[in-house]
Amino acid sequence: MKQTWDVPRELSLPGLAESLGVVRSALHIPLTSMEEDGLITTRKAHVIGGGSRRRTVVHITDAGRQVLSENEPESATRRGRSYGPLPDKSTLHGRVEISENLVDMLTGGTSVLLSGLPGVGKSSLARDIAEIVVNSGWAVRWASCSIDSDTSTIGEMWLGENLSDSSTIISSAAGQRTLLVIDEAQELHHRHSDGVADLINQAASSDSPILVVVRSPSPFGPLQTLSEVVLDGLESKHAIEILPSDLDEKEAVSVAEKLAGHPLALHLWSPGETLPERVEAVQDFVESTVMRRLSEDGMTTLDELCISPTPLAIEELFDESGTLELDEAAILRWMGTIAEPHHLIRNVRRGTWSSDQAKSMHSKAASLWSTRDGARARRIQSHHMMNAGEMDTDWISENIGSIADEDSAAAAVVLEQAVEISDSEPLREAAADLALDRGEVSIAENHISELSPGPSSKMRLARVARMRGDSEAAMELESSALSEMQPEERAKTTISALVRLHDDRLPGRIQQSLATQLISLADSIDLSGLAEPYRAAGNLSIELVRHSIALDSGNLSEAARARTSIEISIGEDPSAVSLLDLRSSLSSLTEGNIPLEAMNAIRKAIESSEGIYRIRLIHATLESMDKHPDWLVEAHSSIVGFRLRDDSPMQRRLNAQRWYWRGVLEPNYRLSHWNEAVSRFRMAECSSAANQLISMIAREI
């Protein structure tokens, strides 16, 4: 480590000060003493994620390790586990009593809402509680919120996988001797706050207590299922522990009192600086003293961070020149290698800008981010465009798809903000469609109610009805919409309905009544009015349905005819042809009994495929067997993490089927997996499949 070019931030002076819970100047005397005794060495080095400038870092020597080993107390055995983005642990001052009380409440089964002013130490206290709980043998699942976080985001931090259904998230995350934590809840956008509030209430009613950390006022309103604890500043006797040890005690107490024992304000103070006369004036201190001491470089970098909607990696900054100054002044809040100003400082700095100044800064930032590629750049650019008063409806429509493909929760926030600024029909339609893709029926209904009446609006209401399980209402709305459409649009819509009806079932042979209905619907579709590319795509979709029905019903001549038509349409696509051949060979074998030679061929085909085709090959093979060999179970496990898009109906249905098979192959988690599958089937508008699976869950229970 002494020779390496880059070192962890924890070895830098700001990192050491944070972990010890003291101001940076408090390190000077003890570090100097330890270096004189040969216990540590210091040097200049680059800090990982800390920008291009070198910083002073500290290394322990062999002699220092020897002294440490002689004085290190026996540590308790760490029996529990932690999950999610826990922040680095730091030493707390004056919080022992409240920490112990909160641990007793939480481990006793009481869920807690921990609130307080920004910078008062709520997250640090929550982190300390998590450490105590883990060391007592509990598991801790931690989530930190941002403006784009939703229930799925929180579930992914807790569990490491993406789940859509709140009840599934809680049933998977909760358990005896498990603490759930949601930090920075005030950062949530109102687009997602109701969903997160529902998640919190479900958690509070589960086997696991939940600790929600939020800056006052809470975005949720009163949460009756949680007990609120308000965190105040430190008592003077504890607050002075943060300040340099060589500071006169009388002066230290005066500083602590004038800053109301506010931990962040104490970290920001430097000896010799003027203090406010009123204990309430922490914000005045930040504005009048902390801000004014910054150089031009420091202020430029601070402003860039303050206008960003999300924390940034230092390499993402367009001007990182002030990064070191901000870090050494305790202004930055780090989460791994990304940083943002402490919220108190951010809020105070934003409050100093006039409306015109803020718009000008956002306009410049939007222009800069437009030069970068990727969905993250587009999401940040959209934030700056809207805050600059430069929102472009066409630009939003063109770019929302790429943002949604990367993060649909972020896209939902962008569209919500855009609709609030400009209530245009295209934006409303996009917001309604995204809500439907995400399974947010009530939100979709609100947007649809603002749309002009017509076939498009009726088709969206039909989707709502299917998601609610009202197939009869959906059919009536769809029929009415079809009657108002032009022939070309009617043909496209009917083909989509045909494919959806075919997929709206659990794995297994298709029932004859459904097969007859599908063939009749396929025969009724008139493709003559479609342009050639659309006609070819429509014909391919119809033939794929006919091929599947023919295989299930044993009509080999019709299956062969459909296959020939399909092969002509898809050309030399080896993956698609492989899937057709596999399905044909599986359908001709005795159900549940596949010869070894055929099994080896199937395994080879699966191992050589990837992506969506691999998922479909595995599902087709699982469907054909009564007993599933270990290699096939492992193959299915390998596709669990493959990302499927919410804005693709076919991929939504495939995702639901994947959760169904996970429930089959993982019996210990069957109920939670199938519960998620039900939610996914409903999102995919497959109410029949959802109802069938609900019946299976009932029998399982």
pLDDT at 463 (0 to 100): 95
Where do the structural domains in the chain lie, given as residue ranges?
6-71, 82-231, 236-290, 296-457, 486-571
Evaluate if residue 277 carries a pLDDT over 70. no
Residue carrying structure tokens 């939504």 = 652
> Which comes out higher in pLDDT, residue 655 or 53?
655
> Which comes out higher in pLDDT, residue 423 or 495?
495
CATH node for 6-71: 1.10.10.10
Evaluate if residue 586 carries a pLDDT over 80. no
CB 90 within 8 A of CB 19: yes
pLDDT per residue over 331-353, tens digit each? 999 988 899 999 999 999 999 99
pLDDT per residue over 590-644, tens digit each? 555 677 887 888 898 899 888 999 999 999 999 988 889 999 999 999 999 899 9
Evaluate if residue 76 carries a pLDDT over 80. no
Evaluate if residue 281 carries a pLDDT over 90. no
pLDDT at 400 (0 to 100): 96
Bridge-based pairing of strands 210-215 and 112-116 is parallel
- Alpha-carbon torsion, ordered 316, 318, 320, 326, to 10 deg: -90
Q: What percent of the chain has pLDDT over 90?
A: 73
Residue 278's pLDDT band, with cuts at 50, 70 and 90, is low
Residue 481 CA, distance from chain mean position: 36
259-276 per-residue burial string, b: 16 or more CB within 10 A, e: under 16: bbbbbbbbbbbeeeeebb
> One-letter amino acid identity for 106?
L
Most confident among 254-263, 274-283, 427-436, 582-591 (mean pLDDT):
427-436
- Both tokens assigned to 275: 């203090």
- Both tokens assigned to 297: 């470089």
Cα angle: 217, vertex 218, 222; to 5 degrees:
110
pLDDT at 666 (0 to 100): 95
Evaluate if residue 299 carries a pLDDT over 90. yes
What does each C-alpha distance from 91 to 95, 173, 340, 655 come to in angstroms?
10, 28, 21, 45
pLDDT per residue over 129-187, tens digit each? 999 999 999 999 999 999 999 999 999 999 999 999 999 999 999 999 999 999 999 99
CB 487 within 8 A of CB 493: no
Residue 572's pLDDT band, with cuts at 50, 70 and 90, is low
Residue 380's pLDDT band, with cuts at 50, 70 and 90, is very high
Q: What percent of the chain has pLDDT over 70?
A: 97
CA–CA distance, 701 with 698 (Å, rounded to integer): 5
CA–CA distance, 459 with 474 (Å, rounded to integer): 8
Of 218-232, 302-316, 575-589, give the lowest mean pLDDT range: 575-589
Q: What is the largest CA-CA distance in the chain?
A: 97
pTM above 0.75, yes or no: yes
Which of helix, strand or coil describes residue 12?
strand
pLDDT at 593 (0 to 100): 67
Evaluate if residue 322 carries a pLDDT over 90. yes
pLDDT per residue over 639-674, tens digit each? 998 999 888 899 999 999 999 999 999 999 999 999
pLDDT at 569 (0 to 100): 81
* DSSP state, residue 410: H
Considering the chain, what is the average pLDDT of its residues?
A: 91
Residue 79's pLDDT band, with cuts at 50, 70 and 90, is confident
Helix (H) or strand (E) holding 111: none
What are residue 515's phi and psi, to 5 degrees?
-60, -45
Residue carrying structure tokens 């042979």 = 509
Evaluate if residue 4 carries a pLDDT over 60. yes
- State the average pLDDT over residues 678-683: 94
pLDDT at 352 (0 to 100): 92
- Both tokens assigned to 416: 């919500």
What are residue 219's phi and psi, to 5 degrees?
-75, -10
pLDDT per residue over 442-468, tens digit each? 999 999 999 999 999 999 999 999 999
Evaluate if residue 1 carries a pLDDT over 70. no
Residue 588's pLDDT band, with cuts at 50, 70 and 90, is low
Residue 218's pLDDT band, with cuts at 50, 70 and 90, is confident
Neighbours of 44 (CB within 10 A): 9
pLDDT at 657 (0 to 100): 97
Which of helix, strand or coil describes residue 47?
strand
pLDDT at 552 (0 to 100): 86
Evaluate if residue 110 carries a pLDDT over 70. yes
- State the average pLDDT over residues 413-418: 96
> One-letter amino acid identity for 47?
V
Whether omega for the bond prior to residue 217 falls within 30 degrees of 0, making it cis, is yes
pLDDT per residue over 505-527, tens digit each? 999 889 999 999 999 999 999 99
Looking from the CA of 677 toward its CB, the CA atoms found within 13 Å total: 30
Residue carrying structure tokens 């390496």 = 4
pLDDT at 556 (0 to 100): 84
Q: Could you name the CATH architecture of 82-231?
A: 3-Layer(aba) Sandwich (3.40)
> Which comes out higher in pLDDT, residue 571 or 478?
478
Q: CB neighbours of 385 closer than 8 A, spacing ≥ 6?
A: 362, 366, 391, 392, 395
pLDDT at 290 (0 to 100): 87
What does each C-alpha distance from 20 to 27, 241, 405, 599 come to in angstroms?
9, 10, 41, 61
Evaluate if residue 429 carries a pLDDT over 80. yes
Evaluate if residue 375 carries a pLDDT over 90. yes
> Which comes out higher in pLDDT, residue 586 or 692?
692
